[in-house]
Homo-oligomer: A and B are copies of this chain.
Amino acid sequence: MAMASIVRTLFLLFFFLFSVASPSTSTHHHHHPLDPLSPSELANVSAIIKRSNPSSTHKLTFQYIGLDDPDKSTVISWLSNQTTTTTTPPRRAFVIARIDQQSHEITVDLSTNSIVSDRVYTGYGYPLLTLEEQAEADELPMKYAPFQASIRKRGLKLSEVVCQTFSVGWFGERKQGKRLLKILCFYLDGTVNLYMRPIEGITVVVDLDEMKVANYYDRFTVPVPKADGTEYRASKQKPPFGPSHNGMSVVQSDGPGFKIDGHTIRWANWVFHLGFDARAGPIISLASIYDVDKQKFRRVMYKGYVSELFVPYMDPTFEWYYKTFFDAGEFGFGLCSLSLEPFTDCPAHAEFMDGYFAGRDGQPIKISNVICVFQRYSGDIMWRHTEAGIPGKVIREVRPEVNLVVRMVSTVGNYDYIIDWEFKQSGSIKFGVGLSGLLEVKGVTYTHRDQIKENVYGTLLAENTVGVYHDHFVTYYLDLDVDGEDNSFVQGKLKTMKITDNSSPRKSYWTVVSETARTESDARVQLGLQPAEFLVVNPNEKTKVGNQVGYRILPGSLAGPLLSDDDYSQIRAGFTKYQLWVTPYNKSEKWAGGLYADQSRGGDGLSVWSSRNREIENKDIVLWYTLGFHHVPYQEDFPVMPTLSGGFELRPANFFDNNPVLKAQPPKRVSWPNCTTTHI
């Protein structure tokens, strides 16, 4: 939740993890209108804006640069004419820049190298925080005398202190607030697990536009939890080690099984486009599946990505109350992603893709291996049957399941979010979210539970260490285009039917009562209250026997908000009120928590758009799904959390005329008699 960034670190990152894109990549040919901005495009965009706002007279920072998608109709048309035309629709960039302390929304046309529009945003809220400004802010306390005194008073060494930035939220203030961050500091001195060693009681408030300490609080002193037991590096562990198990790896004798062509990925019966965005992370577009019977690709999803994450903590005290983070809109879910480690973050047989974003100065920065793609064979069964009921025959047909996974990990300060898109040959798309990394803990005086007589808002995990209760809500934007744009949202409600006329020995059964949502209000669903099927159908396309083709949502990881509706953070995060929403497609409606999430006040975002109650029947519609976790920490989460996983699935529902993997060939049975292991 806190964005880990310090000037010195960032400096190193630039040289070790990232490398500024070399000019050679600027000749990259654009294969696809949805390709993310290339390093040269990013550089070009910032150069154009800098020319209009020379540094001699303007203070200019780039908070976000990303692709401004061509209109959907343009992309669809381009796609259908791909074989006859090689021209890509004009490329545009969308930029949010801070110019002289104002937020500018700037559109740049890269075919004409010109600014198409430049609008000053005057509403509430601020754009994405840059890594650089957070890093600068983190350094401010070190040179701030009252802070130095606070550290001395605690008997701590300033050289072992590291600070982290935290967004401030909004708590009912009436007048427009300044661009602020809060800074909390932690103690190393024998560990790298700084998050387990909070220096409680101190809050530094930074004015970002002025880049100076705006307020300072040192309210109380509690012991800094000890370093002992907090290390998670293998090199620092002492015996006994364990548990251990024999290693295993996957062998793909015929290659990886998928092809990456630019940003287009082809695997089995799927084709889709994979982009990367500083705010959203991975973006999957134009996912289509090949229908063996119809002998053609059929459209499933125009675009999907993580639109927002809301992570409120449940400690209302002065030092903690404001921790109600929007990890995508404040910190950048893509911006917080870091290079994946081959062999461990992704299996040995994975392939990797780099990502680029613009630094504060507009220069392109590369994140190597930011996304990986791999075939998953976990030993599961795609379908099977043994038939022992036919005289003289025993029939057994089994097809093992091999899926394709697209993975990114975003490390938003302490937390590591593992985001998996998993494609199945049977037509499903599974959405997986894994939570790992480090808890945000609170320093307390207590060393044993029996001492605690007050509400500490969490679990005592170790001596002087409380893991504070919190939630994670992850909201997906899913622009499904099931066999085309015009779709409807259908709830098939399972209703108990009572039999009272003795027409059957039964007294009851259930049936499905289907209701097509006419307007947005019909499609706000709190999942789990009522058994139902949830479908996106194309009412204009039928199967041979007359069912509307569709995809259904198999919910998972349900958690609704527990904050009161009138609480400020909940107003900002109104999109978590329902797990399902459907909106008519609107190019400007991308971010569930609003375009300016930092210090937002709930005036923009999904719940506001939906309140217009527009028509959504047989229209181009967007589905929004929020998965959630109420996180009550346990001692097993200390000092690093075993992954907690959740997810949901989109699954074809009368989309195909029959089982789409019926004719999948059984796998070749292979062995590797000559395998000898080499440790590398």
Contacts and interface: CB of A to CB of B under 8 A. Distances in A.
A460 interface: yes
A504 interface: yes
Contacts of A635: 543, 545, 547, 654, 656-658
Given A172-B505, A642-B659, A376 B378 contact: yes
A300 interface: no
A177 interface: no
A533 interface: yes
Interface stretch (A103-111, A114-122, A314-322, A515-523): A314-322
Given A253-B675, A397-B232, A508-B564, A387 B449 contact: no
Interface residues of A, number: 200
Contacts of A249: 250-251, 253, 377, 670, 672
A341 B460 contact: no
Given A267-B245, A506-B567, A531-B560, A162 B672 contact: no
Interface stretch (A209-217, A351-359, A398-406, A475-483): A398-406
Nearest to A542: B449
A285 to B, nearest CB: 21
A13 B390 CA distance: 11
A394 interface: yes
Nearest to A379: B347
Given A247-B254, A392-B12, A402-B248, A641 B383 contact: yes
A663 B246 contact: no
A503 interface: yes
Interface stretch (A29-37, A235-243, A587-595): A235-243
A73 interface: no
Interface stretch (A44-52, A75-83, A92-100, A430-438): A430-438
Interface stretch (A2-10, A149-157, A326-334): A2-10
Contacts of A338: 386, 388, 396
Interface stretch (A493-501, A603-611, A613-621): A493-501
Interface string A398-440: 1111100100010101101010000011111000001011100
B634 A398 contact: no
A200 B338 CA distance: 61
A510 interface: yes
A640 interface: yes
